[in-house]
Chain A
Amino acid sequence: AQSVTQLGSHVSVSEGALVLLRCNYSSSVPPYLFWYVQYPNQGLQLLLKYTTGATLVKGINGFEAEFKKSETSFHLTKPSAHMSDAAEYFCAVSEWVQGAQKLVFGQGTRLTINP
């Protein structure tokens, strides 16, 4: 089975500072990886995905992530944090089970932005 581990259940940064949210994966096949964001009382919104090709993936809201096979990592970054970035962030890996896709999520990282 594939899995992802998010290091740090809570990350706090100042407005304008670099955001770095860590995700490591475990997969016996080439992984398909996703980052989602969840604002309070809402569903999950796709930030970006890595399937094949370019290892640096750009997403919405200024976020990007780099797939590093040697480190089994897919960390999410944003150069300058904004107050509106405060939310829960989930890293996920896609599995193929019983002929269908199963998205397996990490435990999540709550991002707090300090003014």
Chain B
Amino acid sequence: DTEVTQTPKHLVMGMTNKKSLKCEQHMGHRAMYWYKQKAKKPPELMFVYSYEKLSINESVPSRFSPECPNSSLLNLHLHALQPEDSALYLCASSQESRRNSPLHFGNGTRLTVT
């Protein structure tokens, strides 16, 4: 069982749809992350929130919009996606955003854009 919960597990959306991915952790962690993973590839960082403030945006297209309403929740709002955005989206958290603080991952949302 993972302590980082992601919903939904699977999502199919058209290119004109708006949807949101949700992530929740109750470990008291103050840093949260979004990663994107394509098939047979390593995860690639998208965003980092530290103490509910956006710290890193890895030049992600604006059709992906992150939101951190509080220290336990992280959302990723999706709009006008492309088929190449289909991937596994992983949320993670760490105690703090420090180099020695390991990340705890959720099981991901598998997104298919049609």
Contacts and interface: CB of A to CB of B under 8 A. Distances in A.
Interface of A: 32, 34, 36, 41-46, 49, 51-52, 90, 94-108
B4 A46 contact: no
B98 A43 contact: no
B90 A100 contact: no
Given A94-B99, A108-B42, A100 B55 contact: yes
Given A32-B100, A43-B4, A105-B42, A100 B48 contact: yes
- Chain A contact surface mostly: strand
Given A98-B55, A108-B42, A103 B105 contact: no
Instruction: Report the 4 A-B pairs with minimum CB-CB distance, sorted nearest first.
Output: A100-B55, A43-B105, A105-B42, A51-B100
B83 interface: no
A94 to B, nearest CB: 4
Interface string B85-114: 000001010100111111111111010000
Contacts of A41: 107, 110
Interface of B: 2, 4, 6, 31, 33, 40-43, 45, 48, 50, 55-56, 90, 92, 94, 97-108, 110
B2 A96 contact: no
A42 B92 CA distance: 13
B99 A96 contact: yes
Contacts of A90: 42-43
A34 B56 contact: no
A106 B42 contact: yes
A97 B97 CA distance: 10
A51 B45 CA distance: 21
Contacts of B42: 90, 105-108
A101 B108 contact: no
Nearest to B40: A108
B102 A44 contact: no
Given A43-B2, A98-B55, A103 B45 contact: yes
